[in-house]
Structure 1
Amino acid sequence: MKEDNIEKGSIGIKDEKDHQVGTIADLDEGEAFLHEHGFTQVAMQVLLDDEKRNKSLVRRVDLVLLPLLAGTYVLQYIDKSALAYSAVFDLFTSTHMSSNQYSWLASIFYLAYLVAEYPWNILAQKTKLAKVVSGNVVAWGAMLMITAACTSFTGMAICRFLLGIFEAPITPCFMMIVGMWYTRDQQPFRAGIFYSCNGLGAVIGGVLTFGIDDIISATRFKLEDKALLISRNRLGRTGVMNHKIKWYQIREALVDPQVWILFFYTLFNEIINGGIASFGKLIIKGLTNDPLMTCALGIPMGAFQIFWILSGTFFASRVRNSRTIVMFIYLAPTVIGTCLMWKLPHNTNKVGVLFGYYIVGAYVCPLVLSLQMPATNLGGYTKRSTGVALVFLAYCAGNIIGPHAFLAKEAPIYQTGCKVIVACASAQAVLAICLRLLLVRRNKKRDATAAADQDGARVQSEYEEMADLTDFENPRFRYVL
């Protein structure tokens, strides 16, 4: 379907929704809040022009929100790292598990993630993000403790499935939270901060996460602060929150090429991740027979990942319209690192193989940006939520597929797995270029239309600011590249 037909088709889709400007129920929840408390356009512009107050408010949000997001991620990631390290020690013997069954443990986790992610997403939109996230993190922590008692593949598989169910809403909800609280320029680096904190557990994270809520119901901010946060969010024209499920927006997400480019970009990325996360430590083990030394040699990988994520997302936040550029460039270390692990002799060039393993994790930075893109570049809360869900569906599918490219008979080099990684990274690079060209074309078309119809744009501007419009419906929406 051509791009022009898609955007024109959205006009027909809009017939399903109540199009009355005066209907408060149809407004974005943030706009309804402003309307209810009498904040005029002039009053909001005064708040936006107060640079000192804006900086102070962003610092407050950072101090309240980021520790909760980052702390939960630090606590949560221990499961993934613990399973990989246990494979280096006695997981196979203590559970009588084969290498093929081990591959299925990662797939089972993400299969459950795939099944549960969208239902949790819908529930989070209909109720409260904080309740969904905190309840699931507590349940996730309980399942993680039960996993320690497993002595068979069957028990491990059941626990991994339930872990996937309970972890499913965490990252999608976190991306939506970042999209609510920060402007579009600030979102990539904030998402990078919490995503770089993959680490340590879950139960304490559940208590921490209970403090996370949306702007409207947050109790730590004054009325004027909430109005300013909503006003800052309006600059991106993506909206804050709307609890009403709008089916036409779901259909619009399903026919948007941007969503499907991000879907396949994330799918290829997570095929890489599924293999590296499950078998990376076993590649290192091929360089030494000492399990403790394997653990020690794996430590720099985490430091490199933090560097890749924070440097890339910082650059994407500070340099306007550079996200797709980072999504392209940061794939190069992954390709180079994979080729080093694949082609260098493991017996005589262990340092080179290790260096390749350390830099291969650069693909995680493009992942953070691709996961954040739907929350940044899709207007309309239901469409944005659907886009996020589809991208995370690809996230799950990739992690299900990835481990099976690493064949036990090819250990410790895993030649087939290396070939798959290079192919997936190359496909991602092509998709990043396609995404940039698509978004550039859309912005140029909208700029030309706006220049030709300035009077009509002014008449519609108030409705566009207040209604829960999608990016197709709102001619003033501009995409971030």
Structure 2
Amino acid sequence: MDEKALPPSSVPEKDVQVGTVTVTDQDEADIFLREHNFTNDDLEGFLADKARNKALVRKVDLILLPLLAGTYMLQYIDKTALAYSAVFDLLPSTNMSSDQYSWLASIFYFGYLVAEYPWLMLAQRTRMAKVVSGNIIAWGSILMITAACNNFGGIAACRLLLGIFEAPITNCFMMIVGMWYTRRDQPFRAGIFYSMNGFGAIIGGVLTYGIGQIKTIAVWRAIFLILGGITVAWGFIMLYFLPDDIITAKRFTLEEKALLVARGRLGRTGILSHQIKWNQIREALIDPQVWILFMFMLLNETINGGLSNFSKLIIKGLTDDSLQTVALGIPFGAFQLLWVLSGTFIASKVPNVRTIVMFMYLIPSLVGVIMLWKLSHETQKIAVLFGYYITGGYVCSLVLALQMPATNLGGYTKRATSVALVFLAYCAGNVIGPHAFLSKEAPIYQTGCKLIISCLAAQAVLAICLRLLLIRRNKQRDAAASNAPESEEEELADLTDFENPRFRYVL
């Protein structure tokens, strides 16, 4: 096919007028196909070419994944810079108490809560890559400014701004993965960039260990300055290389874009729409699947809020040396890489096991937390450390739950709204979690351990409920679809999963 679009008058009428679907109702990817005269026969030919599909996926991987992975690694390191700083001289240098430190962890997510939905809506209406890149540059700058603070108030203000500027990253990345990859490919790709939390724990530990040798300025100030400078530089790299969407991506030919659209249409979730549709927002708010994922995320991040901010202090209870504390935390990142990559790989390769993986990967966390709680921190230090290392299994469940709205819901606005709702729970959990870790209970934090065990048990129940709900919906649709002829409108419109009877949920 000639890559130059034919004039509109040359497009066959049947390819322009589709039932009652108007141009404003259509997914913008389908409008792109019509403007460039790609027919369904063309798309079927593209999809049948296995070599072309494989080469294109490899090209997308090489362009997108390093950018997403690098950003996520830096986001994790920057977010945990506070925990690394607390191991050194942050608290005495700023006259902060342990309770104030707990609030610093929560204040970050207050900013996240306020900003994440407005950022996501702005990203949908404008250029997603520019929103992401601008926020990376901004949060790196705030991190550097933190080094100039001298008290709780100044650092609290910086943490609030840091939460505001980091807010769109994960939401936008989940939408990007949902746009560029098929539903089968999505979990592992999301797992690749999210596993950079684990890699970030390794790199962050090594960097902090090196920074800890500095004698000229306070170590905690050096941590914020160096990490912030690296992030600002990375933001400009993202600004240049990250594409906004499939349609406007400069490094892909028209035929490659058409194939990406064809692959995306296989899941019937829609690909791209810059129009905010209020009926889809309403549908997201009444969908039980969304609220199950909301509660699952709230519980998951209550765990994360406690462990991520107090894990370094738990390790510090095993040794008096700050540098050794940092070094002992590095293996946790390697374990987290293992959990996330193995779980998302299984979810991508084996059909309909996502909710099962979400359930199973809670078990290592349960065992690890029990070890932290019940084993002696004086005589069984190695076992306690191992318990800490395996607590990260819940992160794989988190990744799959985060990906569910982008994978399992139709309609671009509904998906975006649902991702934002799930992230509201993400923020709320991270606000709640640190306050269960009471300073008087250090270094075991018994109350925190009890809360985590309760959250894990409730998550297991929710994973089962989600699977049963999706099985029931698919059975109902299978029964109803046998007598319903397929409409071309379902292919071209930006329909939600409720509106499209041909939509099927992944389990």
Q: Structure 2-normalised TM-score?
A: 0.89
On the 8 A contact 2:270/2:494 being kept in 1, the answer is yes
Deviations 1:201-260 (A, max 9, x none): 521331232222200000101011000000000000011111111101000000000000
CA distance in 1, matches of 2:295, 2:417: 15
* 1:280 is aligned to 2:339: no
On the 8 A contact 2:30/2:492 being kept in 1, the answer is yes
On the 8 A contact 1:327/1:366 being kept in 2, the answer is yes
Where do 1:23-422 residues align within 5 Å?
23-198=22-197, 199=200, 201-210=230-239, 211-212=241-242, 213-422=244-453
| Corresponding residue number in structure 1 for 2:4 | none
Output the amino acid matched with 2:398. Answer: L
CA distance in 1, matches of 2:436, 2:308: 12
* SS in structure 2 at match of 1:221: coil
CA distance in 2, matches of 1:190, 1:479: 19
* SS in structure 1 at match of 2:296: helix
* 1:473 is aligned to 2:499: yes
* SS in structure 2 at match of 1:457: coil
CA distance in 2, matches of 1:457, 1:372: 31
* SS in structure 2 at match of 1:202: helix
Deviations 1:101-124 (A, max 9, x none): 000011000011000000001101
- 1:130 Cα deviation from its structure 2 partner: 0.8
- 1:71 Cα deviation from its structure 2 partner: 1.1
* 1:464 is aligned to 2:490: yes
- 1:43 Cα deviation from its structure 2 partner: 1.0
* SS in structure 1 at match of 2:272: coil
Alignment RMSD: 1.1
- How many residue pairs match? The answer is 458
Output the amino acid matched with 2:142. Answer: M
- 1:463 Cα deviation from its structure 2 partner: 0.4
| Corresponding residue number in structure 1 for 2:469 | 438
CA distance in 2, matches of 1:386, 1:477: 19
- 1:346 Cα deviation from its structure 2 partner: 0.8
Output the amino acid matched with 2:268. Answer: R
Q: 5+ residue gaps in structure 2?
A: 1-17, 201-226
On the 8 A contact 2:21/2:493 being kept in 1, the answer is no
| Corresponding residue number in structure 2 for 1:5 | none
* SS in structure 2 at match of 1:272: helix
Output the amino acid matched with 2:333. Answer: G
CA distance in 1, matches of 2:360, 2:413: 32
Output the amino acid matched with 1:54. Answer: N
| Corresponding residue number in structure 2 for 1:10 | none
Output the amino acid matched with 2:87. Answer: V
CA distance in 1, matches of 2:323, 2:232: 28
Output the amino acid matched with 1:205. Answer: W
* SS in structure 2 at match of 1:463: helix
CA distance in 1, matches of 2:323, 2:137: 31
CA distance in 2, matches of 1:241, 1:202: 29
CA distance in 1, matches of 2:275, 2:432: 35
CA distance in 2, matches of 1:404, 1:438: 33
Counting aligned pairs with the same residue, the percent is 71
- 1:76 Cα deviation from its structure 2 partner: 2.1
Deviations 1:51-104 (A, max 9, x none): 000000000000001011011112222222321111111111011000000000
On the 8 A contact 2:406/2:419 being kept in 1, the answer is yes
* CA spacing shift, 1:472–1:308, aligned 2, 3 Å: same
CA distance in 2, matches of 1:434, 1:140: 38
* CA spacing shift, 1:336–1:37, aligned 2, 3 Å: same
CA distance in 2, matches of 1:71, 1:475: 39
CA distance in 1, matches of 2:96, 2:143: 19
